[in-house]
Amino acid sequence: MINKMQVSFAVLLLTFAASTSARAASTLHIGPGAGTTCAKGCAGDPNLLAGARTVDIYQTSNGAPFLSQPVLLILGVPSQFDQLMPAMPITAVKASNPYPGGTRTTGTASFATGGTYGLIDPVSDGFFGTMTSGQDVYTFLGLSGANNSDSFTNWAAQDLEYVDLTVTSFAIHVYAINADLGPDGLINISLVRNVPKGTYVVAYGQANGKSYAVPFTEAGLKVSYQ
């Protein structure tokens, strides 16, 4: 026989699961820029970005609200190449809501600041420390509500497979993107050429108390400089 305590515990578990689901969504995808075949993401596990002079953040949910600003662009750079990383790699930001054919606007980029959505304090402008084995990038940065698939383990394994690069740690850089991102919307971001090969690109945002993030299957991985 099920007693009242068992019923209460079951209800509590269901309530917790529902509230967790309500707070988190893995609906952001990284693509190689507006106008490309994979602008909405290709489920490449991760999506391979040749050159990555332009990347985009696409909101796959047609029922999502416009995200609060800023949206955080997160770059995980192989630590052995971090000395090549420019302090500010972003040269232009444009948005289209919805994509394609929607309203086009121009945005801005700056260094992310501690406290944004719970983000930890930076070590220096744009640099938030080094992620090592056993960590995932969203938890490492203090950003709640995201899944943990963007982990050191997954990133390092795919760098080895696709870039033939053995990575022992990733330098994490975060930038605040002030641009509209609504349902089926896209933010197009231009980068300088010398963002190191082997760098991962993901993003994070919030709206109405709910978190939106990029799962590893839709993360971007820079595999060449051309």
Per-residue pLDDT of 143-177, as tens digits, reads 999 999 999 999 999 999 999 999 999 999 999 99
In whole angstroms, what is the distance from residue 171 CA to residue 121 CA?
Answer: 14
Q: Report whether pLDDT(12) > 50.
A: no
Mean pLDDT of 61-72: 96
Question: Which pLDDT score, from 0 to 100, does residue 226 have?
Answer: 57
Q: What is the mean pLDDT of the chain?
A: 89
Mean pLDDT of 199-224: 96
Q: Report whether pLDDT(14) > 50.
A: no
Sign of CA dihedral 114, 67, 172, 191: negative
In whole angstroms, what is the distance from residue 39 CA to residue 36 CA?
Answer: 5
Question: Which pLDDT score, from 0 to 100, does residue 10 have?
Answer: 35
Question: Which pLDDT score, from 0 to 100, does residue 9 have?
Answer: 33
Question: Which pLDDT score, from 0 to 100, does residue 24 have?
Answer: 66
Question: Which pLDDT score, from 0 to 100, does residue 18 have?
Answer: 34
List of E strands, 60-213: 71-78, 90-97, 103-111, 127-131, 170-178, 186-191, 200-207, 210-213
- What is the helix (H) or strand (E) element at residue 58, kind and residue range? strand 54-59
Q: Report whether pLDDT(42) > 70.
A: yes
Query: pTM of the predicted model, to two decimals?
Result: 0.89
Mean pLDDT of 82-105: 96
In whole angstroms, what is the distance from residue 123 CA to residue 129 CA?
Answer: 6
Helical H runs in the chain?
Answer: 4-23, 137-141, 152-163
Q: Report whether pLDDT(43) > 50.
A: yes
Question: Which pLDDT score, from 0 to 100, does residue 194 have?
Answer: 82
Q: Report whether pLDDT(200) > 50.
A: yes
